[in-house]
Structure 1
Amino acid sequence: MPNIEKEISDKFGGRLRVRVNGVLIKEDKILMIRHDMGQGRSFWNVPGGGMKFGSPATANLAREFAEETGLEIRVEKFLFTFEYLDRPLHAVELFFEVSTNGQNPQLGHDPELPAGTQLIQEVKFMDLDELQSIPNEAKHQVFWDLKSLNDVRIWKGYFNFENKCIK
Protein backbone atom coordinates (compact mmCIF):
# COMPACT_ATOMS: atom_id res chain seq x y z
CA MET A 1 0.00 0.00 0.00
CA PRO A 2 1.50 3.35 -1.01
CA ASN A 3 2.33 5.92 1.65
CA ILE A 4 0.60 8.99 0.22
CA GLU A 5 1.77 11.34 2.98
CA LYS A 6 5.41 10.41 2.29
CA GLU A 7 4.86 10.75 -1.46
CA ILE A 8 3.40 14.27 -0.97
CA SER A 9 6.28 15.29 1.30
CA ASP A 10 8.92 13.84 -1.03
CA LYS A 11 7.49 15.37 -4.21
CA PHE A 12 6.27 18.74 -2.94
CA GLY A 13 7.88 19.39 0.47
CA GLY A 14 11.00 21.14 1.65
CA ARG A 15 10.90 23.90 -0.95
CA LEU A 16 8.89 26.94 -1.95
CA ARG A 17 6.42 26.21 -4.73
CA VAL A 18 4.50 28.66 -6.85
CA ARG A 19 1.07 27.27 -7.75
CA VAL A 20 -1.69 28.46 -10.06
CA ASN A 21 -5.37 27.77 -9.32
CA GLY A 22 -8.43 28.29 -11.51
CA VAL A 23 -11.88 29.26 -10.28
CA LEU A 24 -14.50 27.98 -12.73
CA ILE A 25 -18.07 28.90 -11.77
CA LYS A 26 -20.87 27.65 -14.01
CA GLU A 27 -24.60 27.74 -13.28
CA ASP A 28 -24.00 28.74 -9.63
CA LYS A 29 -21.60 25.84 -9.07
CA ILE A 30 -17.82 25.85 -8.64
CA LEU A 31 -15.55 23.14 -10.04
CA MET A 32 -13.74 21.35 -7.21
CA ILE A 33 -11.30 18.44 -7.00
CA ARG A 34 -11.01 15.98 -4.12
CA HIS A 35 -7.44 14.90 -3.36
CA ASP A 36 -6.47 11.87 -1.27
CA MET A 37 -4.19 13.08 1.52
CA GLY A 38 -3.58 9.69 3.13
CA GLN A 39 -4.92 8.08 6.28
CA GLY A 40 -8.53 8.46 5.09
CA ARG A 41 -8.25 12.25 4.73
CA SER A 42 -9.41 14.23 1.70
CA PHE A 43 -8.75 17.78 0.57
CA TRP A 44 -11.00 19.76 -1.78
CA ASN A 45 -9.67 22.62 -3.89
CA VAL A 46 -10.16 24.12 -7.32
CA PRO A 47 -8.02 22.70 -10.14
CA GLY A 48 -4.44 23.86 -10.22
CA GLY A 49 -0.87 22.96 -9.51
CA GLY A 50 2.77 23.84 -9.72
CA MET A 51 4.35 26.06 -12.30
CA LYS A 52 7.02 24.87 -14.69
CA PHE A 53 10.04 27.11 -15.16
CA GLY A 54 9.96 29.12 -18.37
CA SER A 55 6.20 28.87 -18.85
CA PRO A 56 3.84 31.76 -17.97
CA ALA A 57 1.23 31.40 -15.24
CA THR A 58 -1.63 31.30 -17.74
CA ALA A 59 -0.03 28.46 -19.71
CA ASN A 60 0.70 26.55 -16.49
CA LEU A 61 -2.92 26.91 -15.39
CA ALA A 62 -4.23 25.73 -18.76
CA ARG A 63 -1.92 22.68 -18.54
CA GLU A 64 -3.00 21.87 -14.97
CA PHE A 65 -6.70 22.15 -15.88
CA ALA A 66 -6.20 19.82 -18.85
CA GLU A 67 -4.29 17.28 -16.73
CA GLU A 68 -6.75 17.30 -13.82
CA THR A 69 -10.10 17.77 -15.57
CA GLY A 70 -9.64 17.30 -19.32
CA LEU A 71 -11.00 20.83 -19.83
CA GLU A 72 -9.59 23.46 -22.16
CA ILE A 73 -9.90 26.83 -20.42
CA ARG A 74 -9.45 30.52 -21.02
CA VAL A 75 -7.72 32.33 -18.17
CA GLU A 76 -9.71 35.46 -17.45
CA LYS A 77 -8.72 37.80 -14.61
CA PHE A 78 -6.30 37.49 -11.71
CA LEU A 79 -8.21 37.24 -8.42
CA PHE A 80 -5.89 36.98 -5.40
CA THR A 81 -2.79 35.41 -3.83
CA PHE A 82 -2.78 32.90 -0.99
CA GLU A 83 0.29 31.74 0.95
CA TYR A 84 0.20 28.24 2.41
CA LEU A 85 2.83 27.34 5.00
CA ASP A 86 2.54 24.12 6.97
CA ARG A 87 5.89 22.33 7.02
CA PRO A 88 7.07 20.54 5.01
CA LEU A 89 4.79 22.31 2.48
CA HIS A 90 5.15 25.97 1.50
CA ALA A 91 3.36 27.43 -1.52
CA VAL A 92 2.45 30.80 -2.91
CA GLU A 93 -0.79 30.31 -4.83
CA LEU A 94 -2.13 32.56 -7.56
CA PHE A 95 -5.89 32.33 -8.11
CA PHE A 96 -7.44 33.23 -11.48
CA GLU A 97 -10.99 33.22 -12.77
CA VAL A 98 -11.30 30.89 -15.77
CA SER A 99 -13.94 30.01 -18.33
CA THR A 100 -14.52 27.10 -20.68
CA ASN A 101 -16.64 26.35 -23.70
CA GLY A 102 -19.09 24.08 -21.91
CA GLN A 103 -17.21 20.79 -21.91
CA ASN A 104 -17.84 18.36 -19.06
CA PRO A 105 -14.93 17.74 -16.68
CA GLN A 106 -13.47 14.27 -16.31
CA LEU A 107 -11.26 12.70 -13.67
CA GLY A 108 -7.68 13.50 -14.55
CA HIS A 109 -4.28 12.58 -13.11
CA ASP A 110 -1.16 13.89 -11.41
CA PRO A 111 1.66 13.33 -13.92
CA GLU A 112 4.25 13.92 -11.17
CA LEU A 113 3.06 10.81 -9.32
CA PRO A 114 3.06 7.11 -10.21
CA ALA A 115 -0.25 5.43 -11.09
CA GLY A 116 -0.53 3.73 -7.69
CA THR A 117 -0.30 6.98 -5.71
CA GLN A 118 -2.62 9.31 -7.60
CA LEU A 119 -4.03 12.07 -5.39
CA ILE A 120 -6.99 13.15 -7.57
CA GLN A 121 -10.02 11.11 -6.54
CA GLU A 122 -13.04 13.12 -7.74
CA VAL A 123 -13.89 16.11 -9.93
CA LYS A 124 -17.27 17.78 -9.62
CA PHE A 125 -19.24 21.00 -9.73
CA MET A 126 -20.57 21.95 -6.27
CA ASP A 127 -23.16 24.48 -5.24
CA LEU A 128 -22.57 26.65 -2.18
CA ASP A 129 -24.52 24.36 0.18
CA GLU A 130 -22.50 21.32 -0.85
CA LEU A 131 -19.22 23.22 -0.52
CA GLN A 132 -20.22 24.49 2.93
CA SER A 133 -21.11 20.93 4.03
CA ILE A 134 -17.45 19.87 3.66
CA PRO A 135 -15.60 20.21 7.00
CA ASN A 136 -13.11 23.08 6.98
CA GLU A 137 -10.13 20.80 7.51
CA ALA A 138 -11.05 18.99 4.26
CA LYS A 139 -11.10 22.05 1.97
CA HIS A 140 -8.84 24.94 1.04
CA GLN A 141 -9.09 27.74 3.59
CA VAL A 142 -10.25 30.34 1.06
CA PHE A 143 -13.54 28.39 0.88
CA TRP A 144 -14.20 28.17 4.64
CA ASP A 145 -16.53 31.13 5.08
CA LEU A 146 -18.00 31.82 1.65
CA LYS A 147 -21.39 33.52 1.73
CA SER A 148 -21.74 33.36 -2.05
CA LEU A 149 -19.77 31.71 -4.85
CA ASN A 150 -19.40 35.15 -6.38
CA ASP A 151 -17.42 36.27 -3.30
CA VAL A 152 -14.35 34.50 -4.64
CA ARG A 153 -14.60 36.57 -7.85
CA ILE A 154 -14.41 39.89 -6.00
CA TRP A 155 -11.69 39.15 -3.44
CA LYS A 156 -8.50 41.08 -3.94
CA GLY A 157 -5.32 40.94 -1.94
CA TYR A 158 -3.19 38.50 -0.03
CA PHE A 159 -4.37 35.70 2.25
CA ASN A 160 -2.42 33.43 4.58
CA PHE A 161 -3.18 30.92 7.36
CA GLU A 162 -1.60 32.92 10.16
CA ASN A 163 -3.75 36.03 10.10
CA LYS A 164 -6.77 34.62 8.22
CA CYS A 165 -7.62 37.94 6.60
CA ILE A 166 -7.15 40.04 3.53
CA LYS A 167 -4.37 42.61 3.75
Structure 2
Amino acid sequence: MYGVDEPFWSPPGGGIQFGENAEAAVKREFEEETGLQVDVGQLLFVNEHIQAPLHAIELFFEVTVFEGKLLRGSDPEMSEEGQIIREVKLMSWPEIKSLRPNQVHSIFSSVESLQDLFKIKGYISPR
Protein backbone atom coordinates (compact mmCIF):
# COMPACT_ATOMS: atom_id res chain seq x y z
CA MET A 1 0.00 0.00 0.00
CA TYR A 2 1.01 3.60 -0.25
CA GLY A 3 0.47 6.23 2.37
CA VAL A 4 0.46 9.90 1.50
CA ASP A 5 3.65 9.70 -0.56
CA GLU A 6 5.61 6.57 0.35
CA PRO A 7 5.12 2.83 0.83
CA PHE A 8 3.27 1.60 3.92
CA TRP A 9 3.21 -2.11 4.87
CA SER A 10 0.31 -3.59 6.75
CA PRO A 11 -1.36 -6.99 6.98
CA PRO A 12 -4.51 -7.37 4.87
CA GLY A 13 -7.61 -5.96 6.50
CA GLY A 14 -10.68 -3.87 6.19
CA GLY A 15 -14.22 -3.48 7.34
CA ILE A 16 -16.75 -6.11 8.28
CA GLN A 17 -19.84 -6.10 6.08
CA PHE A 18 -23.31 -6.15 7.62
CA GLY A 19 -24.23 -9.72 8.58
CA GLU A 20 -20.65 -10.99 8.14
CA ASN A 21 -18.77 -12.41 11.11
CA ALA A 22 -15.15 -11.47 11.83
CA GLU A 23 -13.71 -14.79 10.57
CA ALA A 24 -15.52 -14.46 7.24
CA ALA A 25 -14.31 -10.85 6.95
CA VAL A 26 -10.67 -11.91 7.46
CA LYS A 27 -11.01 -14.58 4.78
CA ARG A 28 -12.68 -12.16 2.35
CA GLU A 29 -10.17 -9.36 2.93
CA PHE A 30 -7.20 -11.71 2.42
CA GLU A 31 -8.64 -13.00 -0.83
CA GLU A 32 -9.61 -9.53 -2.12
CA GLU A 33 -6.23 -7.98 -1.32
CA THR A 34 -3.81 -10.87 -1.89
CA GLY A 35 -5.58 -13.60 -3.86
CA LEU A 36 -4.85 -16.04 -1.02
CA GLN A 37 -7.32 -18.23 0.83
CA VAL A 38 -6.53 -18.60 4.53
CA ASP A 39 -7.74 -20.49 7.54
CA VAL A 40 -8.45 -18.18 10.46
CA GLY A 41 -7.15 -19.17 13.87
CA GLN A 42 -7.58 -17.57 17.25
CA LEU A 43 -8.17 -13.90 17.96
CA LEU A 44 -4.82 -12.55 19.14
CA PHE A 45 -5.68 -9.03 20.28
CA VAL A 46 -7.75 -5.91 19.61
CA ASN A 47 -6.06 -2.65 18.63
CA GLU A 48 -7.86 0.69 18.69
CA HIS A 49 -6.48 3.06 16.07
CA ILE A 50 -7.27 6.77 16.11
CA GLN A 51 -5.60 8.97 13.53
CA ALA A 52 -7.74 11.56 11.79
CA PRO A 53 -9.82 11.00 9.83
CA LEU A 54 -9.90 7.31 10.83
CA HIS A 55 -11.09 5.73 14.06
CA ALA A 56 -10.92 1.94 13.79
CA ILE A 57 -11.15 -1.10 16.01
CA GLU A 58 -8.74 -3.67 14.56
CA LEU A 59 -9.06 -7.36 15.31
CA PHE A 60 -5.81 -9.28 14.81
CA PHE A 61 -6.24 -12.99 14.12
CA GLU A 62 -3.77 -15.77 13.61
CA VAL A 63 -4.01 -16.99 10.01
CA THR A 64 -2.72 -20.30 8.66
CA VAL A 65 -2.84 -22.36 5.50
CA PHE A 66 -2.19 -19.95 2.70
CA GLU A 67 -3.59 -21.38 -0.55
CA GLY A 68 -3.74 -19.83 -3.97
CA LYS A 69 -1.42 -17.56 -5.88
CA LEU A 70 -0.18 -14.34 -4.32
CA LEU A 71 -1.30 -11.39 -6.42
CA ARG A 72 -2.02 -7.72 -6.06
CA GLY A 73 -5.67 -7.45 -5.26
CA SER A 74 -7.83 -4.41 -4.82
CA ASP A 75 -10.06 -2.68 -2.34
CA PRO A 76 -13.63 -2.89 -3.68
CA GLU A 77 -14.69 0.08 -1.55
CA MET A 78 -12.35 2.35 -3.53
CA SER A 79 -12.53 3.52 -7.11
CA GLU A 80 -10.09 2.20 -9.71
CA GLU A 81 -8.18 5.50 -9.57
CA GLY A 82 -8.21 5.57 -5.76
CA GLN A 83 -6.62 2.16 -5.14
CA ILE A 84 -3.83 2.23 -2.56
CA ILE A 85 -2.56 -1.34 -2.92
CA ARG A 86 0.47 -1.05 -5.18
CA GLU A 87 2.32 -4.25 -4.30
CA VAL A 88 1.62 -7.39 -2.30
CA LYS A 89 4.38 -9.53 -0.89
CA LEU A 90 5.10 -11.74 2.04
CA MET A 91 7.86 -10.23 4.18
CA SER A 92 10.24 -11.74 6.69
CA TRP A 93 10.42 -10.33 10.20
CA PRO A 94 13.80 -8.64 9.52
CA GLU A 95 12.33 -6.99 6.41
CA ILE A 96 9.36 -5.66 8.38
CA LYS A 97 11.61 -4.38 11.18
CA SER A 98 13.88 -2.64 8.66
CA LEU A 99 11.04 -0.30 7.68
CA ARG A 100 10.76 3.11 9.31
CA PRO A 101 7.94 3.46 11.87
CA ASN A 102 5.88 5.59 9.45
CA GLN A 103 6.13 2.84 6.81
CA VAL A 104 4.63 0.00 8.85
CA HIS A 105 1.55 -0.61 10.97
CA SER A 106 2.26 0.74 14.47
CA ILE A 107 1.81 -2.65 16.14
CA PHE A 108 5.04 -3.85 14.50
CA SER A 109 7.00 -0.96 16.00
CA SER A 110 5.88 -1.96 19.49
CA VAL A 111 7.32 -5.50 19.47
CA GLU A 112 10.84 -6.84 18.96
CA SER A 113 10.06 -10.29 17.55
CA LEU A 114 7.36 -12.24 15.80
CA GLN A 115 6.97 -14.29 18.98
CA ASP A 116 6.28 -11.06 20.90
CA LEU A 117 3.45 -10.30 18.50
CA PHE A 118 1.76 -13.59 19.43
CA LYS A 119 2.13 -12.79 23.13
CA ILE A 120 0.00 -9.64 22.92
CA LYS A 121 -3.39 -10.27 24.50
CA GLY A 122 -6.49 -8.22 25.09
CA TYR A 123 -7.12 -4.64 24.14
CA ILE A 124 -4.49 -2.11 23.07
CA SER A 125 -5.53 1.50 23.61
CA PRO A 126 -4.39 4.43 21.47
CA ARG A 127 -1.18 6.12 22.54
SS for the counterpart of 2:88 is strand
Matched, 1:130 2:95: yes
The code of the aligned residue for 2:99 comes to I
Identical pairs, percent = 41
Which residue of 62, 68, 71 maps to 1:106? 71
TM-score (norm 2): 0.92
Structure 1 residues 21-42: Cα deviation after superposition (integer angstroms, max 9, x where no partner): xxxxxxxxxxxxxx1223x233
Q: Distance in 2 between matches of 1:138 and 1:87?
A: 17
Q: Distance in 1 between matches of 2:111 and 2:44?
A: 15
- Higher fraction of strand: 1
Q: Distance in 1 between matches of 2:8 and 2:120?
A: 22
Structure-2 change in CA distance of 1:102 and 1:59 (3 Å): closer
Q: Which residue of 1 aligns with 2:34?
A: 69
Q: Which residue of 1 aligns with 2:51?
A: 86
Shift of the alpha carbon at 1:102?
Answer: 4.5
SS for the counterpart of 1:124 is coil
Q: Distance in 1 between matches of 2:79 and 2:106?
A: 28
Unaligned runs of 5+ in 1: 1-34, 163-167
Report the more deviating stretch, 79-88 or 97-106: 97-106
Q: Is the 8 A contact 1:84 1:90 kept in 2?
A: yes
TM-score (norm 1): 0.71
Structure-2 change in CA distance of 1:55 and 1:127 (3 Å): same
The code of the aligned residue for 1:79 comes to L
Report the more deviating stretch, 81-90 or 147-156: 147-156
The code of the aligned residue for 2:100 comes to P
